[in-house]
Structure 1
Amino acid sequence: MGTSYEKDVVAWANEQAALLRAGKFSALDIEHIAEEIEDVGKSQQRELASRMAVLLAHLLKWQCQPERRGASWQTTLQIQRAAIVRRLNKTPSLKPMLVDDDWISDMWGDARQQAATEMQIGVALLPESCPWTMEQAIDPEFFPQ
């Protein structure tokens, strides 16, 4: 044992798990373990934000380009909504993010940029703030007109 965190994080993680299981707590790399545990939560938050940005970008395209609506967009909306609901059910502590104005604003900026790029229009042509609640966005029956 003794792989450094910086050299090989996977080998390090396996060693740390073995030390934990063996009850060798004094040999643990506590600081890096704490960082990794925090990163797990951040990873879940990033996944939710990424999926919401994709979902909102597609809702924007749905609303702004009705002539291009099709099965592909509908499938993307369904897949993202299902994945978001699964993530929220598995990690209920993420639910408050759906009503956090700062988080929504950051994620909306990503969605706007993505939609503008995909629609080949200026981002200024899209709403500055999200016109829908996150509850509406993840509702499988919701399609903006």
Structure 2
Amino acid sequence: MAISYEHDVAAWAKEQVTLLRAGQWALLDVDHNTMKNQREAIAKLLQKMPSLRQVLEEVEWDEDVWKDALDIGGREADLVDLPAIREWDYEQVLKDGYLPS
């Protein structure tokens, strides 16, 4: 990670996209990345509404969410060759600091 978020956010964002496209997960700036923010928001929701965990286990919902994620990843970050089926379970994905390999 050569460009700091604090120094130049636009250049930082461009670098982050380049790292995403290259699959360089370990080099991403997860402290300033939205994944951390999203994980925190999801954790808060699950604490307030524990019954939502059941929804995470519904196959149809899971397939719809993953399809949306593939679409967004492709359009917004030009990510390609993403797996057609999500390879990571929700407990794993929601762990602080987790990045797919």
- TM-score > 0.5 by shorter chain: yes
> How large is the Cα RMSD of the aligned pairs?
2.7
- What TM-score does the superposition give when structure 1 sets the normalisation length? 0.49
Q: Moved runs in structure 1, 4+ residues, more than 6 A?
A: none
Compute the displacement of 1:93 (Å): 1.4
SS at match of 1:71: coil
* Mapped partners of 1:64, 1:99: distance in 2: 30
* Mapped partners of 1:143, 1:83: distance in 2: 17
- In the alignment, what sits opposite 1:53? none
Q: Which has the higher helix share?
A: 1
Question: Which structure would you say has the larger Rg?
Answer: 1
Percentage of pairs with the same residue: 28
Query: Would you say how many aligned residue pairs link Structure 1 and Structure 2?
Result: 83
**Residues 1:93 and 2:51 are matched in the alignment:** yes
Unaligned runs of 5+ residues in structure 1 are: 1-60
Q: Which has the higher contact order (CA 8 A, sep 6+)?
A: 2
* Mapped partners of 1:103, 1:130: distance in 2: 12
1:130 pairs with one of 86, 92, 95: 86
The one-letter code of the counterpart of 1:143 is L
Unaligned runs of 5+ residues in structure 2 are: 1-18
* Mapped partners of 2:25, 2:93: distance in 1: 21
* Mapped partners of 2:31, 2:78: distance in 1: 17
2:76 pairs with one of 118, 131, 135: 118
